[in-house]
A and B are shown apart, each in its own frame.
Chain A
Amino acid sequence: MTELSIQLINLFASILLLLAFAMLAQRRVINLVHIYAMQGLTVVSATSIVAFVTHQEHLYYSAVMTLALKVFLIPLVLHRLIKRLDIRWDVETLINIPSMMLVGIVLVIFSFNLSLPISKLSTSVTPGTLGIALACVLLSFMMMITRSKALPQVIGFLSMENALVFAATSATYGMPMVVELGIALDVLVGVFILGVFMFQIREQFESLDISHLENLKEE
C-alpha cells in the first residue's frame, strides 16, 4: 500500500465528516438529498481505494452496490418523493445553527476519544477513520433528533447507515458479502416503506411535520 492511498482515504474520511456537518446545517430538503448522494459517492471512492490497496475483491462489488444504491437509486427515489409530495421548496426553520455546530464538534471529540484505544490496535490501513465514522453516526443521530420534518429524519437515518458502511470498510475491509447484501436490502425496503408512510402521514395529518405525531401519550 502506498502513502498516497492512505492520504486519499483520510481525505475521503474528512470529506464525509464535513458533509455530515453540512447536512446538520442544511435547511432545504432538496439540498439534503444532494448531500446524501455526495456522501454515497465519498463512501464509494473510499471503498474502491481500500479495495485497490488490499486486493479484496468483494469490496469492489460492495463499491458498485453502494454506487448503484446510494448514489443513484435512493436519491432518485427521494427526488421523486419530493416531487410528488411537492415539498421541493420546503425550508425548515432550524434554531440556532451555531450552537448545533458546537455540540457537533463536542460529539466529534467524544468519538475520537472513544475510538482512540481501538484505533491503536487496528491493523487496517487507516486507523484514524474509525473515529470519523463514529462521529458521523453521532452527527446523523443528532440531525434526526433536531429535525421535525419527516423527510429530513429519513435522510438522517440513511446518512447514519452510510457512516456505518464506511466504518465497516475502513475498520474491517467490509463485512462479508452476504451480510452487506442483507443490509442493503433492509435499507432499500425501509426507504420504500417510509416513502409510502409519508403519503399516508400527510393524508392523515395534512402535514409532514413530525411534531404533529404526539398524540400517543400517557394521561
Chain B
Amino acid sequence: MNPLVLVFAAPLLGSLVLAVMGHKPHGRNVNVAFSFGTLLAALFLTIKIVAEGPLFAFNSQFFIDSLNIFLVTLTAFIGFTTSVFSRPYMRIEEDRGKMTHSRMRLYFSMYQLFSFCMLLALTTNNMGILWVAMEAATLTTVLLVSVYRTPASLEAAWKYFILCGVGIAQALMGTILLYMASQKVIAPGLNPLLWTNLNASKSILNPTIMSLAFVFLLVGYGTKVGLAPLHNWLPDAHAEGPTPISAVLSGLLLNVALYAVIRCKILTDGALNNNFAGNLMIGFGLLSVLVGAFSLLRQRDIKRMFSYSSIEHMGIMTFAFGMGGPIANFAGLLHMTVHALSKSAVFFAVGHAAQKAKSQMMDDIRGLIKVSPTVGWGLMMGTLAILGMPPFGIFASEFLILTSAMHQLPWSAPILLLGLAVAFGAIFSRVQPMVFGETNVKPLPHSPALLPVFLHLGLALMLGLYIPNYLNQWFLQAVAIIGG
C-alpha cells in the first residue's frame, strides 16, 4: 500500500474518532496515538522517498520530492510531540474549568484535522488544492483559537478569520491568474494546475501574468506566513488560543505557508528570468524582521512576545529565500527546521510556566528555576536557542544567512543585525527574571511533559553542531529544486 494513504488516513480517522470520544479521560492518549501513527506513516514515506526518489501518486495529484518530504517529516514530528505536550496541559486546563467535555472533543478532533490539512497542503501537486487546504487549515485553527470562548479568544479568532480570509482570497486570485497563464502554454491533456506540469514549462509561462499572479500569491500566502504589514492576526491568535496550538501555529502553519510561497517563487523565477519575486520577498522579509523585533520591546504577555519573535524569524527566512543562491536557500531550509523545533519547545515551556503562574503576564511569572528547575531550564535554553546563541542550530542558519547577505546584498546586513540585536535585548531581559527571580508559585498538580521540550532543543542543538549526512543531502536536493 502507498504510505501516503496512511499519512492521510491516520489524522483523518483520528479526527473522526476523537470527535466522538475526545472528552473521555483517555481521549488525550488516543490523540497521541493517532499523531504517532501519522509520524510513523510519514517516516515510512520518507524512507521510500529517500530510497526511490520523487514520487507521484493518484494520477499525479500528489507529488513528493525532497523539498516537501522534509517538511512532511517535520510536521508529523512536531504534531506528535505537541500531542504529547497537550496531554498534561489540556488536562490541567480541564481541571481548572476552562474546557468542557464538548470543547475537549472539538479540540482533539480539530487538532487531528489541522494535521491533515497541513499534510495535504504539503503533498498536493495541485495548486488549487493547495489553496483549499490552506483555507481549511485556517478554518480548523480558527476553531482551535476560539476554544476557550472568552471575549479575548473570540476577538482573536474573529480577527484571524477575517484577516486570513481576505489574505487567502488574494491567493485564490493569484491561483486563478496562474491557471490562466498555464492554460495558454500547457499541452492539451495535461492538467494545467499541477505544479510539476507548470514547473516543466515554466520558462514559457507569460511573464506579465506571472508577475501579477506572484504579487497576489505572495500577499495571500504571506498573510499566513505572518509577514508585515499583514501580521496583525498572528500575535492575537498565538496569545489567546491554547498553548499547544501556539506551538503548532508557529512551528507548522507558518512553515507550510512559506512553503507555498517558495513553490510559487520557483515558477515565477522560471517565467520572469529576473529577481522580481526575490526582491519582493526581500522587502517583505526585512520589513517583518524590523517590525517583529521592535514590537518585541512593547510586550508584557509572554505568548505575544514569542509570537512577535516568530514574525521576526519568518521574516529572516523569507529574506533568505528571496535572496536565493545555494547557501541562502540552504540556510533558509535549515532555519525553517530549527526555528520550528526551537519555537515549539519554547511554547511548551512557556505553556507550563504560564499554567504555574496562572497568568501569561511576564510580571507574574517569576523564579521558575526554584519551583521547577526543568521548566525554568527549558525556557532558558529555548530562549537562548531562539535568540541564535551558539551552539544551537539557529546560530548556524542565521550565520549563513548573514554572511551570504554580506556577499549578495551588503546594505541589508546592518538591518538584519539591528533586528537580531533588538530581539536579543528585548527577549533576554524579560526571560532572565522569569527564570531566576524570586517566587511564591506552587508546582502543578500533573507533572508537565518536558520530554518534548528537551527533545526539540536537543535536535536544535545537534543541528547546530553537526548535520547528519543524509539530512545534508536532503537539504541540498531541496536547494537544487528551489534554485534561484
Contacts and interface: CB of A to CB of B under 8 A. Distances in A.
Interface of A: 114, 117-118, 121-123, 134, 137, 141, 144, 150, 153, 157, 160-161, 164, 167-168, 171-172, 175-176, 178-179, 182-183, 185-186, 189-190, 193-194, 197, 200-201, 204-205, 210, 213-216, 218-219
Contact of B158 (A117, A164, A210): A210
Contacts of A216: 152, 155-156, 159, 235-236, 239-240
B156 A123 contact: no
Contacts of B155: 213-216
B214 to A, nearest CB: 13
A121 B208 contact: yes
Nearest to B156: A216
B74 interface: no
B149 A182 contact: no
B173 A164 contact: yes
B139 A189 contact: yes
Describe A's contact surface by its main secondary structure.
helix
Interface in B182-203: 183-184, 191, 193
Contact of A219 (B132, B135, B149, B298): B298
Nearest to A115: B212
A213 B236 CA distance: 12
Tier of interface size on chain B: 35 or more
Contacts of B175: 175
A218 B232 CA distance: 11
Contact of B154 (A153, A171, A172, A197): A197
A144 B166 contact: yes
For B142, B172, B177, the residue with the greatest tally of chain A CB atoms inside 10 Å of its CB is B172
B295 interface: yes
Contacts of A150: 158
B331 to A, nearest CB: 31
Given A164-B173, A219-B300, 20 more contacts: A118-B209, A118-B212, A137-B173, A157-B162, A157-B169, A160-B166, A164-B172, A168-B176, A172-B180, A175-B175, A178-B128, A178-B129, A179-B132, A182-B131, A189-B136, A189-B139, A197-B157, A205-B151, A215-B152, A219-B298
Contacts of A175: 128, 175-176, 179, 193
9 nearest CB pairs, A to B: A179-B128, A182-B132, A213-B155, A204-B151, A186-B135, A218-B298, A216-B236, A172-B180, A168-B176
A165 B154 CA distance: 29
B128 A182 contact: yes
Nearest to B159: A213
For B175, B180, B299, the residue with the greatest tally of chain A CB atoms inside 10 Å of its CB is B180
A142 B158 CA distance: 18
